[in-house]
Amino acid sequence: MTQAVESVEKRESSEAAGEALAAFIKRYPKLWVITGAGVSTDSGIPDYRDADGQWKRPPPVQHGDFMSSFAVRQRYWARALVGFKAMREAQVSGAHRALAKLEAMGHVELLVTQNVDRLHQRAGSKKVIDLHGRADVVACMACGYQMMRHAMHSEMARMNPAFAALDARHAPDGDADLEADFSTFNVLDCPRCKGILKPQVVYYGDVVPPARRLAAQSALQQADAVLAVGTSLMVYSGYRFCRDAHAMGLPVASLSLGVTRADGFLTHQWRAPLTPVLEYAVGRLKKG
């Protein structure tokens, strides 16, 4: 297949990109969609990377460090006590709603999201795989006990009133740019066995559960094309599917504001604001 990439060095107009995206969907009506942090920035949840794919702030916590260091867990939960309100209070964006409409119109074979905010489901998308898990539930790493994260935060706020009163700039995935002496922070352990409680999120250094990966790969076999939305694809767990699609000969398109790890084999690329482009494409498809 000819790799004739539709791309520009500067941002395209929303109308031009929306028109091109609608034409892409008409040609390839069964999409395998993968989304990233850019889909949720309009919801008030910060992203990790800039337009060049570089870290805006220090990388997130590593799985091994979280599990092995009590001090790391103190820092993580103290910052989360301040920062998670951004994710808890986030509202669905126009991009979330437009993707849900595309599914309702029959154009989405599967939506795989690298986000952990569950906003796609709240917008109405049903065919969703949370590749990296969900941040609103915590589980004991020893006995499997689960509880809702808001309940855990309420208890830790009671245990740490001084920290609960702090404020700081919100960071990605419920973190906050808070620096303090965390040595006095009281971490809530599993109420059943006193084990380590951890959000049901795939941290760096951890692996995506095989069942999720296999389900995503199975749906990819049934799709006409891949559409990446709001993701730099710098994380291998998401990039691998676009790489596999390319190897299968499927068109791979990207809608984002910056570079992606997959730029070298994209067949279509639109660097433009997500919500207006998606909304325009949906409207164009409805008109036929």
Provide, rounded to the nearest whole percent, the portion of the chain with pLDDT above 70: 91
> Of 120, 132, 153, 246, which is the active-site residue?
132
pLDDT of residue 111: 98
Kindly tell me if the per-residue pLDDT of 6 is higher than 80: no
Q: Which residues on neighbouring strands pair with residue 111, listed in sequence order?
A: 33, 128
Convert the pLDDT of each residue in 232-259 to its tens digit.
999 999 999 999 999 999 999 999 998 9
pLDDT-based confidence at residue 50 (cuts at 50, 70, 90): low
- 70-88 vs 149-159: helix axis angle to the nearest 10? 120
Instruction: Report the amino acid identity of residue 185.
Output: F
Convert the pLDDT of each residue in 218-236 to its tens digit.
999 999 999 999 999 999 9
pLDDT of residue 60: 79
Structure-model confidence comparison of residues 58 and 14, the more confident one:
14
Structure tokens at 217: 């790969």
Rg of the chain over all Cα atoms, to the nearest angstrom: 20
Kindly tell me if the per-residue pLDDT of 57 is higher than 80: no
- Is the CB of residue 18 less than 8 Å from the CB of residue 276? yes
Q: d(Cα 75, Cα 93) in Å, to the nearest integer? A: 30
Kindly tell me if the per-residue pLDDT of 3 is higher than 90: no
Q: Which residues on neighbouring strands pair with residue 35, listed in sequence order?
A: 113, 229
Average pLDDT over residues 71-90: 91
Convert the pLDDT of each residue in 181-210 to its tens digit.
999 999 999 999 999 999 999 998 899 999
Domain residue extents for the chain: 14-287
Residue with tokens 């867990």: 73
Residue 242 known to bind ligand? no
Kindly tell me if the per-residue pLDDT of 269 is higher than 90: yes
Q: d(Cα 247, Cα 110) in Å, to the nearest integer? A: 19
- Is the CB of residue 49 less than 8 Å from the CB of residue 232? yes
Q: What is the pTM of this model?
A: 0.91
Convert the pLDDT of each residue in 95-144 to its tens digit.
999 999 999 999 999 999 999 999 999 999 999 999 999 999 999 999 99
pLDDT of residue 118: 96
- Catalytic residue list contains 132: yes
Neighbours of 58 (CB within 10 A): 10
Q: d(Cα 129, Cα 121) in Å, to the nearest integer? A: 10
Q: Report the first-to-last Cα separation within the chain, whole angstroms.
A: 27
| Third-level CATH fold of 14-287 | Rossmann fold (3.40.50)
